Structure 1
Amino acid sequence: MSIYVGNLSYEVMQDNLSEIFAEYGTVKRVQLPTDRETGRVRGFAFVEMATDTEEEAAIEALNGAEWMGRDLTVNKAKPREERSSSSGSWGDRRGGSSRR
C-alpha cells in the first residue's frame, strides 16, 4: 500500500519528500507525478514505506501539517480506478451517421 500526499508545493522534489517521510521509517519509493506538457510537478505524490506501522505513523504525523507553506493532505492511497476506453458515451456522439 502507499500513501497519498496532496496539496504539495510546486517547488517540491523527491528528495524533499524522502527526507520528511524518513523521519517515520524506511522510505521504499517516492512517486512525484509531473505534467506531460510542462514537466511541472502536479501538486501531489505517492510514498511507499517499508511497513504498515511506518505508514500509519507518517499519516498521523503529517496529515494537516504545514510544510513548505502548505497544509498537507496525507492519507492511504486508494487503488487506481480502471479507465474505460473512449468508445463510451463519446463514441455514439462523434459519428456523423446519427445526424439527420
Structure 2
Amino acid sequence: MNIYVSNIAFKATDTDLRELFEQHGEVSSAKIILDKMTQRSRGFGFVEMPDNASAQQAISELNNYNFLGKDISVNEARPKTDAPRSGGYGNRSGGGNEGNSFRKRW
C-alpha cells in the first residue's frame, strides 16, 4: 500500500521516515520529495508497505504523531489522475497579450 505523509520536518531524511514506519512492519520504500531547483525537502513524502494490514495500522497509529518536532499527517495515497492541472497555459484563462495590454490607454 502506498502511504502519503505530509507536514514532515525539513530536517528529516528518507532513512528517518523508513525507520519510523518499520516499527509497524516491512517497508518497501520511503521517499521524501525534494524541490527540483533547491534539492530541499518539500515537507511531504511517500512510504510503500507491502502488507496492507501493517500499512493500515501504521496510518492509524502515526497520523498526528509528533515526528522530529512536527505532527505528521498520514493517509493512504490517492492514485495519480490524468486530469490536467488548473492554471497553466492550456486553459486560456488570462496571461495572454491580447491587443497589447501594456499599451497606454489615454
Question: Shorter-chain-normalised TM-score: which range?
Answer: 0.7 to 0.9
TM-score normalised by structure 2 residue count: 0.81
Q: RMSD of the TM alignment (CA)?
A: 1.9
Match of 1:76 in 2: 76
- The structure that is helix-richer by fraction is 1
Gaps of 5+ in 2: 101-106
Instruction: Give the letter for the 1:45 counterpart.
Output: G
* Letter in structure 2 aligned against 1:26: E
TM-score normalized with structure 1 length: 0.85
Aligned residue for 1:87?
90
* Seq. identity, %: 31
Residues paired across the two proteins, number:
97
Cα separation, 1, equivalents of 2:25 and 2:78:
21
Aligned to 2:23: 23
Distance in 1 (CA, whole Å) between partners of 2:49 and 2:95 is 45
Could you list the structure 1 runs, at least 4 aligned residues long, displaced by more than 6 angstroms after superposition.
none
Offset from partner CA, 1:22-71 (integer Å, 9 cap, x none): 01110001121100111101000100001110110100110011110001
Do residues 49 (structure 1) and 56 (structure 2) align?
no
3-state secondary structure, aligned to 1:89: coil
User: What is the DSSP-based 3-state SS (H/G/I as helix, E as strand, rest coil) of the residue aligned with 2:47?
Assistant: strand
Q: Which runs of 5+ in 1 are unaligned?
A: none
Q: In 2, Cα distance between the equivalents of 1:10 and 1:16? A: 11
